[in-house]
Amino acid sequence: MTLTIVSLLPSLQNTNGDAENAAVLAARARWAGLDVRVVPVEAPEDLPERVDAVVLGSGSDSSLERSRQVLLGLHDDLRRWGTEGVPILAVGTGWELLGWGIELPDGGSIEGLGILAGRAVPRDGRVAGDLVVAASGGLGLLVGFENHARDYVGAEASPLGRVRAGSGNGRGSGQEGVRMGDVIGTHLHGPVLAKNPQLADAMLVRACERAGLEYAPGERAHEVDRYAAAARAQQLRAAGVAASAT
């Protein structure tokens, strides 16, 4: 049995290296002794027959329309995956495109796919810096870097977690991201799965459950996670957040 991880639009949606979250999943699966492949999908015809996990990174605003057109051709697949429990991680504009839509500063808008609740709206100035989130579902503290010029509203009932440092969804919500079942949208760059192996493992556990497989982090993962933990600790100190904060 080979796990298939789909990387959606890596040529358009890879700002901050977010498409490499797929490589993180694949590496951890291999370290666990599993067969795995990463399939880049740039068009609907690239889609493999089986999909066990999906990663959609962030892109520039100049690529929004092109990315949206391709994603529209995958709308039914994305909705089915979300319903069937396929773990999906969408970051930045990839997440925004899966929402209700994106409002632009000139008054125009880009319609989203409606897979996730919420809408991206312009904010006064870009926010960039450390982002620390106390995530729900036993994921603990998630760390990363946020860099966005839009807030996200309408997802207050289903956030990924509470902001401990940074802006997150903004508008005074104190929340970050959105989580609907096994579909996650977030502002966390990093790539987020490299900095937060607990989130990567949660996705792999779910993917393996659906495939009838068992997942347990391998020895190599434990070694690499020590580096991730050191980097996380340094970022938490810089952000003024105690490692025990939840």
Q: Which domains does the chain have, with CATH numbers?
A: 2-239 (3.40.50.880)
Question: pLDDT per residue over 37-87, tens digit each?
Answer: 999 999 999 999 999 999 999 999 999 999 999 999 999 999 999 999 999
On whether the CB atoms of residues 210 and 86 are closer than 8 A, the answer is: yes
Please, which residues bridge with residue 39 across strands? Answer: 6
Q: Return the half-sphere exposure (C-beta side, CA atoms, 13 A cut-off) of residue 31.
A: 20
Examine the pLDDT at 166 and tell me if it is beyond 70.
yes
Identify the sign of the CA torsion 14, 175, 203, 233.
positive
Q: DSSP state, 208?
A: H
Question: pLDDT per residue over 86-129, tens digit each?
Answer: 999 999 999 999 999 999 999 999 999 999 999 999 999 999 99
Could you give the percent of the chain with pLDDT greater than 90?
Answer: 95
Examine the pLDDT at 245 and tell me if it is beyond 70.
no
- Average pLDDT for residues 7-16, to the nearest whole number? 96
Question: pLDDT per residue over 199-210, tens digit each?
Answer: 999 999 999 999
Question: pLDDT per residue over 168-184, tens digit each?
Answer: 999 999 999 999 999 99
Provide the mean pLDDT of the chain: 96
Could you give the percent of the chain with pLDDT greater than 70?
Answer: 99
Tell me the Cα Rg of the chain.
17
Examine the pLDDT at 246 and tell me if it is beyond 70.
no
Q: How far apart, in whole angstroms, are the C-alpha atoms of residue 190 and residue 75?
A: 27
* Residue 243 binned pLDDT confidence (cut-offs 50, 70, 90): confident
pTM of the model: 0.97
Nearest to 3 by CA among 214, 224, 218, 222: 214
Q: How far apart, in whole angstroms, are the C-alpha atoms of residue 99 and residue 23?
A: 25
- Average pLDDT for residues 187-212, to the nearest whole number? 97
Q: Rounded to 5, what percent of the chain is helix, strand, coil?
A: 35, 30, 35
Q: DSSP state, 61?
A: G
pLDDT of the residue at 242? 84
